[in-house]
Amino acid sequence: MPTYVATGRDTLGNQRRERVSAANPNEARNLLKDQGLYVQDLQEERGFNIDFQDLQTAMTKVSVKDKAIFSRQFAALVNAGVALVRGLGVLSDECPNPKLKKALLEINADVQQGTNLSDAMRKHPSCFDNLYVALIQAGEVGGVLDEVLNRLAKLLEDLNRLQNQIKAAMAYPVTVGILAVVIFLAMCMFLLPIFADMFAQFDAELPVFTQMLLMISGFLRQWYNWVITIAVISAATFAYRRYYATPTGRRNMDRFFLKMPLFGDLIQKTATARFCRTFGSLSRSGVPILTSLEIVRDTAGNQVIADAVDEARKEIQTGGMISLALQQHKVFPVMAIQMISIGEETGELDAMLMKVADFYEDEVEQAVKALTSIMEPLMIMVLGGMVGSILVGMYLPMFKIMDVVQ
């Protein structure tokens, strides 16, 4: 189906430019008219034309925050009785993210043609994943779309808060680490050569540590060594990504991440909170357990945890309990598994999952604070150690030079 690019004015008189897929120009004009655009110019899009606006749209990512804001606003409109078509039109006009805006326009066009909202969203996996679509579908079937949208907004807001906490915790050590490397390189490339010339004039035997620093300085001052270093780092990064892209590689690396000192506990708690929040939201919205586990498996973000969820799904198919299957893999905390088991026994699994999610989200917050308190002095020690090592390496030969002078 060809794509048409149209320019025109909306009902408020604002100039707009839109793209729409249609069988012919007349159908394209009708679709755009239904969206409130009075077409002034309509051109069929050619395959070899470079559209920088489309390029920007393709390169833009839809963040968790973008989806959370959209869900909250959409829920308010649906709860107020606004029709889906009108609500999607309003939100697409106000959407600041070009990729999400384009998706909403196409979803709106599909809904106008009689497509279900969930089916229309399923066509845009880069904006709405399987979890989002499944919850929307459950809301459509149950007639509680506004409740599901509010639930989605809460889920995404919690996820965004977790991500921001982790980013905030990593910001300081990353900044100090970069600063330490820059200072170390600057001292090696510009300060050490000055002292090297001075040492050479006295023809004194230099300590081994100073000789090592001068070798590093000489290495860094040759431009071709930088090319070699960058090439080696690029090759190692490429090899790591290729290895991580394989099922075995991803499983091994994710298992390693879970066992890392300091960070492993944080990764486990974050994964537990995400698993319980997602699974609980799906169960509470009426999504079947097997379907919920399949979606949770695909959105786990860790292959080891995904394997455990997949085993739990198989256990359910044979009449077993989720908690027993999760317990065998030993990737979730014991307390979380015990609470899930109680939820299964009492028939309150979704409520118990939400409580577990709340608990471990608080645990993540505390773990992030603890990690930050550990990393701050540690990074200061690293920075001081790198600078101090160069200063020691420069001043150690001074004692021998003084002996030579005397």
Q: Return the SS3 of 4.
A: strand
pLDDT for the residue 61: 87
| Count of residues in the chain | 406
Q: What are phi and psi of 15, to 5 degrees?
A: -75, 130
What are the angstrom distances between the C-alpha of 182 and each of 119, 167, 190, 196, 242? 51, 22, 12, 20, 30
Q: H or E stretch including 8?
A: strand 3-10
pLDDT for the residue 110: 87
Distance between CA atoms of 301 and 64, rounded to whole angstroms? 15
Q: What are phi and psi of 37, to 5 degrees?
A: -110, 125
Q: Pick the closest to residue 121 from 129, 349, 113 (CA basis).
A: 129
pLDDT for the residue 237: 95
For residue range 126-171, list pLDDT tens digits in order: 899 888 988 898 888 888 888 889 989 988 998 888 888 888 878 8
Quote the percentage of the chain above a pLDDT of 90.
17
Residue 69 has pLDDT above 60, yes or no: yes
Q: Choose between 246 and 55: higher pLDDT.
A: 246
Question: pLDDT class for 119, splitting at 50, 70, 90?
Answer: very high
Q: Choose between 354 and 60: higher pLDDT.
A: 354
Contact 111, 117 (CB under 8 A): yes
pLDDT for the residue 66: 92
For residue range 301-316, list pLDDT tens digits in order: 788 888 888 888 888 8
**Both structure tokens of 291:** 């379907």
Q: Is the Cα torsion angle 334, 296, 150, 268 positive or negative in sign? A: positive
pLDDT for the residue 47: 56
- Give the angle subtended at the CA of 94 by the CAs of 90 and 95, to the nearest 5°: 110
For residue range 361-389, list pLDDT tens digits in order: 899 888 888 888 888 888 888 888 888 88
**Both structure tokens of 169:** 């915790």
